[in-house]
Amino acid sequence: MEENVKDTVKQILTDYLQANKHRKTPERYAILDTIYSINGHFDIEALYHIMEDKGQFRVSRATLYNTIILLIDANLVIKHQFGNSSQFERAYNNENHHHMICMQCGKVTELQNDELLKAINDSKLNKFHPYHYSLYIYGICNKCSLAKRRKNKQINYREK
């Protein structure tokens, strides 16, 4: 992630905090900076440990939860909900992409498809104001489907 993206989101946060009369705490900037150092998805627990380990700055889980809500409201973070815990990713300068989720192993693969984006953008949502969208395609990834085929063969063999 280039530095000027970090500077830009920092500025967006500053503007947002000012506009909403929230305080500019070092925790909030540290969390934003860490998030924009992460490629792909993360959950609160992962974020907590990244900040603790790489850790110039340690913040409590409670603050992470609070701050994430604020960053989502500022359009700087997007929330996903696959798996057990909520997953997040940065929103600024992050192209809208789709997710393929393996129902077997839980692996999440990102997918880029412009026609699909166009179709979504062209959808009529009557009076609903969209901020962002997430397409989750659930299925079986190649690796698991090969493993499954192998397993089935064994079962068939055993039954003969």
Partner DNA sequence: GTCAGTGCAAACTTTTTGCAACTAC
Partner DNA sequence: GTAGTTGCAAAAAGTTTGCACTGAC
Report DSSP letters for 69-120, one per residue. HHHHHTTSEEEE--SSS-EEEE-TT----EEEEETTT--EEEE--HHHHHHH
Find the binder of DNA among 7, 11, 22, 37 (CB under 7 A): 22
Question: 28-87: which residues touch DNA (CB under 7 A)?
Answer: 28, 43-45, 58-63, 65-67, 84-86
Q: Which is nearer to its own copies, 12 or 72 (by Cβ)?
A: 72
Question: Total residues contacting its own copies (rule CB under 8 A)?
Answer: 36
Q: What are phi and psi of 46, to 5 degrees?
A: -65, -45
d(CA 34, CA 37): 5
Q: Does the protein bind its own copies through residue 154 (CB under 8 A)? A: no
Instruction: Please choose which of DNA, its own copies, none residue 85 contacts, taking the beta carbon within 5 to 8 angstroms, the exact cut-off set by kind.
Output: DNA
Q: Which residues bind DNA (CB under 7 A)?
A: 17, 22-28, 43-45, 58-63, 65-67, 84-86
